Structure 1
């Protein structure tokens, strides 16, 4: 007999405004505890010292995580000019220094080279796997290794402020897999002055905004209460980038069993990925093919 999962069968999204000093895993564990949920996950890791949006999915919402992970995200971060570190942030050891300080015009011109489809090398202190082992573990052991560059889509990268000669505040909107620390490192090298991330905040991620997120203190205060349940966003909050179609009664039954089901759709292209609802609840995600949805994910709600 299979072991019964502990916890509640509760599904939805909670937007957390993550504080500095906590790992993303620690935040997920706290949310899972607060809801007494049997299943939880997050859509996009934040470094421990970073703050801002960490979208936590509970229950059936975990099936929509890839759509948030793939969505555009916005970061606001401060770059310390004049110093490079081995971690590309303020936690690392200084590995190089420069007295050169570029002008605002030079900075703005350099930023243009980081917009569009770029190739980016993740930091050595990152969770990227090298021959099956996390890069940060190899880096802590002072191993010599290389990380292959990977593509990143940068929608925009702009200079927001320059508080003093040593600091610049940037805003970046980018796609999946972006490392802000790499942007700071590479920008510093391009400008000839070196650089690393001093502060980092994720302002929004897909449809979720930090301004609407719950603080850690609020989560702890409302833990295991109906008031906390009321803050949960529906499962379909993670599907806003997909078109909604309506399943017929018979179609919904077939979809829930993992079979193609009849749907009613308008302005949907053949082969387009969509999600189907029935009686106000999401039923499945899949490909639309001539009046039917061929499911790839089915929700048990």
Structure 2
């Protein structure tokens, strides 16, 4: 006999304004419990002490997570100049200090080094896997190890404010896989003064801004009630980066069972990845070829 899944088959996105002190996994678990959902996941981890937008996918929306993790994201963060820590943030121990403080002009001049396609070494206290083990576990055990640099696309890096001689407020817009702590560390090293992140906040991610987010307090208050469902956004909001095509009735029936299906004419070109709707609901994601879409993901809504 097939195993019965616990919870509701509820589908969509819940945008959360994550508070400091919670892991991203804890937020997912809180939302899953509050909405009595069968399935939930998030689109892009935030460090426990980071705040801001965390997009939680429920049910069939989890199939659209890759399109949000691949989208641009914006972080605002404060860098403490003059100190390096072993975690690259305030949670760690200060390991190096400097009395040197760069001028505003020197900071501005350094920022272009961190724009475009760059290589970035993740912090040693991170979830990156080294020979099957998490880097942070190795770091806690004082193991000697190196993390390979990995590519990151940074669309924009702005100096928002020099709050005082020891602090600078920055804003970074980047692609997936970015570590703000690494940016602060590398900027401090480039300037010769060292640095670490004092706080950071994700301002927006893909199509959503923090103003779209619901707080943990509201989630707790409305848990297990229909009122919380009103904050749920459609599955299709996770597909905004793809062209939408509408399926014919016959095409929709074929796509739903994983076969290529006919679609009405749209703006897509041969070979484009698109998403297909029928009667306002997403049916599939796939590749458009000569009037048909060949599905790679199928939605059961």
Normalised by the shorter chain, which TM-score bucket? over 0.9
Cα distance in 2 between the residues matched to 1:3 and 1:267: 43
Secondary structure of the corresponding residue to residue 266 of structure 2? coil
Superposed CA deviations along residues 202-226 of structure 1, whole A, max 9, x for unmatched, are 0001011111100000111111111
> Which residue of structure 1 aligns with residue 161 of structure 2?
161
Using the TM superposition, give the Cα deviation of residue 2 of structure 1 relative to its aligned residue in structure 2, in angstroms.
2.3
Deviation at 1:62?
0.3
2:108 aligned with 1:108:
yes
The Cα shift of 1:119 comes to: 0.3
TM-score normalized by the length of structure 2: 0.99
1:135 counterpart residue number: 135
Cα RMSD between the aligned structures?
Answer: 0.5
Q: Which residue does the alignment assign to 1:95?
A: 95
1:193 Cα offset (Å): 0.3
Cα drift, residue 227 of structure 1 = 1.2
Alpha-carbon separation, structure 1, partners of 2:154 and 2:115: 5
Which whole-Å CA distance do the structure 2 matches of 1:103 and 1:127 have between them? 34
Cα distance in 2 for partners of 1:269, 1:92 equals: 51
Cα deviations by residue, 1:219-251 (Å, 9 ceiling, x for unpaired)? 111111111111100000100000000000000
Query: What TM-score comes out, normalization by structure 1 length?
Result: 0.99
Could you tell me how far apart the structure 2 residues matched to 1:197 and 1:271 are? 43
Counterpart residue number, 1:229 = 229
Q: Where does 1:29-108 land on structure 2 (aligned, <5 Å)?
A: 29-108=29-108
List 4+ stretches of structure 1 deviating above 3 A. Answer: none
Residue number in structure 2 paired with 1:285: 285
State the 1:269 CA deviation.
Answer: 1.1
- Quote the residue 1:175 is aligned against: 175
**Structure-1 residue corresponding to 2:25:** 25
2:205 is equivalent to residue 205 of structure 1 = yes
Q: What are the ranges of 5 or more consecutive residues in structure 2 without an aligned counterpart?
A: none
Q: Offset of 1:146 from its aligned partner? A: 0.4
2:209 & 2:225 partners in 1: Cα distance?
A: 23
Counterparts of 1:261 and 1:64 in 2: how far apart (Å)?
20
| SS of aligned partner of 1:189 | helix
Deviation at 1:45, TM superposition (A): 0.3
Distance of 1:24 and 1:260 partners within structure 2? 37
Provide the C-alpha distance between the structure 1 equivalents of 2:23 and 2:226, rounded to a whole number of angstroms.
27
Please list the CA deviations of residues 21-63 of structure 1 after superposition, one character each: whole Å capped at 9, or x if unmatched: 0000000000001110000000000000000000000000000
